[in-house]
Structure 1
Amino acid sequence: MFLANLLIALREGLEATLVIGILVGYLVKTDRRDVLPKLWLGVGVAALIPLSIGAVLTWGPKTLTFQAQEIIGGSLSIVTVVLVTGMIFWMGKHSRQLKGELESSMAASLTRRSSGWGIVGLAVLAVGREGAETALFIWATVRSSVENSVLATTAGVIAGLVLAVVLGWIIYRGSRRINMKLFFSVTGYFLILVAAGIFAYGIGDLQEAGVLPGIMTHSWDFSSSLPGPGSPIYWLYVLGQAIFQVNVQPTVLQTIGWVVYTVPVIILFARQVHGRTRATSNGSTTPATPPNANNGSHAEAAPTSATARPDTPAPTVDP
């Protein structure tokens, strides 16, 4: 469980850290360091959002009946999957424009309110959204495995957030180049599989509460074949259960839910990631207009393309 929560906290924490770095960098670049204390105030308020959500989710349901707890837990697990899936696709689409959008919002806040108090609200919205998603996602994974090891679960979350802060600071200082596109692509696939497990787990909760049928109808049952705790296979199963909610006896509805979520989401995400890569590659290597076969010269084909589309630079041609 340590590794699972470390990777989740690292991915989600790094997003929030990058947002803070962009905001701080803009204020420094525009010589508005006087607004930095207000920015940090907004970040502090935003940090209270995930803490409050975590506290309510952890201790709030304790006074409810078992059925009510399962209904709330299953429903929130599914809501978490929806939010995280949307975040994965949003980050994949807007990661390149994120800096420009935040700086535009920052400039508008400074223009409307010269005192800079608008920055507090911007920081709360920008950072608080990331924090709320992180709290829900981590809670959903912790809820299903915290009984195995409270220490490992907590340590994984803390280590992931600390590492995210360190990486964010390194990126802000510019002392090291990190391929953020590759990072968010790889972790995107990872989070999809984690979310699929949470989705199946949420369905199981709703089945236990009687909201959904089929709690005793299993797709398969390998529980009797699971080796003892001394076997490496057993610990591999424990790791898979902690990260991806691997189940040796899932219900039919859980299996269907896992497949229905995972297959289309991975296909759409792969098209978004690799489709954008191919488009960028084609745009940088394919000439806008093919060479003119009549004059037999590649060098004379470039002005033709430039004349047809003045806003398109002429392609570079090797001699």
Structure 2
Amino acid sequence: MLATFLIGLREGLEAALVVGILVAYLSRLGRRDALPRLWAGVGLAVALALAIGAVFTFGAYMLTFEAQELTGGSLSLLAVGMVTWMIFWMQRAGRTLKAGLEGGVDRALRGSVWALVAVGFVSVAREGIETTLLLWSMVQSFGDAPLALAGAVLGLAAAVVLGWAIARGMLRLNLGRFFTWTGAFLIVVAAGVLAYAIHDLQEAGALPGPFGASAPIDPRTGAVFVGVAGFPLGWAFDVSGVIAPGGALAALLQATVGFMPQMTWLQVLAWTVYVAVVVPLFVRGVRANRRPSPGAAGATASGPPSAPRGDARPTPTPDAATATASAPHPNGAS
């Protein structure tokens, strides 16, 4: 529940801030009449994410065991790829996100009625599909769908409230620190999803492992080798006698770091290689975005900015919402 809550919170807050930028910009332009079209696009994006989740969930019941494992493993790999791409995309493009969104709104207002619907749809659909794939993969691996889904719903609800409070200037939140830490958490979660995807593909027979004919068997006991003797197609370790596979500790470790009481060598290697490659690249991106740059001093989302000295005019609320929801921060998100 904790893992899916944090995923729902991070992904939902990204989407909420994007929608906040769009709404604030339309309000600043005096085009609140166009807001229903924007919200229609957002609603379609949410409906698409829910539909994809429903197809994955209920469609799997019609498949054989091997087909279910193959589908689950393939979609988990896709989820890992999307999450990894999104983390680094936000580092690179986050600082220009606000300008890109506002440019899209300007072009949409000059176009047809459906153009603004498309802007709202595209802005949220990417986050929605990524969240659906990742949550579905995690629910499949955890096996406790009600709690996992409850955590995701609570996280998304919290993200909506936080996004609204930030846009209204009611909440101060260091977005740079938030997205940096949640990005690091997502990398670890993605490594765990990758390890479980390897497990699914091995069970489906798509990859060699302890479930197939290529498994290294101990001739004395007939069991698959564990440890060094089982490398590379056997079990890397088996601590299920110490950590019960269905227990609370096992669930907590799997949800946070992707640890399972019994893991194959291919799972361990995939987890290790992913973390060893992605973490240094992520840290390098964080450090690069922390270098001083003109106009990049404000990394904290806060309330409406104070008026300059000698100017008693109040700051318009739409402009404040735009500024607070889109302030650049060290991780590159807006």
TM-score range (shorter-chain normalised) is: 0.7 to 0.9
Q: How far 1:15 moved relative to its partner?
A: 0.9
Match of residue 317 from structure 1? none
- The equivalent of 1:224 in structure 2 is 241
Query: Which position in structure 2 is the counterpart of 1:277?
Result: 290
Q: 1:267 aligns with which of 267, 271, 280?
A: 280
Partner of 2:198: 203
- The aligned residue for residue 153 of structure 1 is 148
Amino acid at match of 1:54: G
- Are residues 1:11 and 2:10 paired? yes
What's 2:140 paired with?
143
Any stretches of 5+ residues in structure 1 without a counterpart? Answer: 285-319
Q: Aligned to 1:181, what secondary structure does the other structure show?
A: helix
Q: Deviations over 1:180-239 (max 9, x none)?
A: 11111100000000000000000000000111112250111111222698xxxx533321
Q: 2:238 is paired with a residue of what secondary structure?
A: coil
Matches for 1:300-319 after TM superposition, within 5 Å: none
Question: Aligned partner of 2:180: which letter?
Answer: S
Match of 1:239 in 2: 252
Q: Which residue number in structure 1 is paired with residue 27 of structure 2?
A: 28
- Residue 37 of structure 1 aligns with which residue? 36
Structure 2 spans left out of the alignment, 5+ residues: 211-223, 225-233, 298-334
Structure 2 residue identity aligned to 1:222? V
Structure 1 match to 2:126: 129
Conserved 8 A contact 1:84-1:195: yes
Separation in 2, partners of 1:53, 1:239: 27
Q: Is structure 2 residue 135 aligned with structure 1 residue 118? A: no
User: C-alpha distance in 1, partners of 2:76/2:207?
Assistant: 15
Displacement of 1:98 in angstroms is: 1.2
1:174 deviates by 1.6
Letter in 2 for 1:243: T
Specify the alignment match of 2:271 in structure 1: 258
Residue 92 of structure 2 is aligned to residue 79 of structure 1: no
The residue type equivalent to 2:284 in the other structure is R
| 8 Å contact from structure 2 (residues 69, 204) kept in 1 | yes
Contact 2:245 2:261 in 1 (8 A): no
Once residues 134 and 91 of structure 2 are traced to their aligned partners in structure 1, the CA distance between those partners, rounded to angstroms, is 18
1:188 aligned to which of 183, 188, 192: 183
Inter-CA distance 98–225: structure 2 relative to 1 (3 Å threshold) = same
Distance 1:117 1:14 in 2: 26
Contact 2:46 2:128 in 1 (8 A): yes
Match of 1:214 among 199, 209, 217: 209
Equivalent position of 1:303 in the other structure: none
Counterparts of 2:67 and 2:206, CA distance in 1: 11
Shift of 1:129: 1.1
Provide the C-alpha distance between the structure 2 equivalents of 1:202 and 1:279, rounded to a whole number of angstroms. Answer: 40
Farther-moved stretch of structure 1 (104-113 vs 126-135) = 104-113
Counterpart of 1:103, as a letter, is E
Match of 1:178 in 2: 173
Residues 96-145 of structure 1, C-alpha deviation per residue, up to 9 Å, x if partnerless? 221111001111111234xx431101111111111111110111111111
> Comparing both structures, which one devotes a greater share of its residues to helix?
1
Name the TM-score, length of structure 2 as normaliser.
Answer: 0.78
Instruction: Output the CA distance in 1 between the equivalents of 2:263 and 2:292.
Output: 41
Q: Please say if residues 5 and 157 of structure 1, whose CA atoms lie closer than 8 Å, have aligned partners that are also in contact.
A: yes
Q: Which letter maps to 1:74?
A: G
Distance 1:83 1:5 in 2: 17
Task: Measure how far apart 1:62 and its partner are.
Answer: 0.9
> Larger Cα Rg: Structure 1 or Structure 2?
1
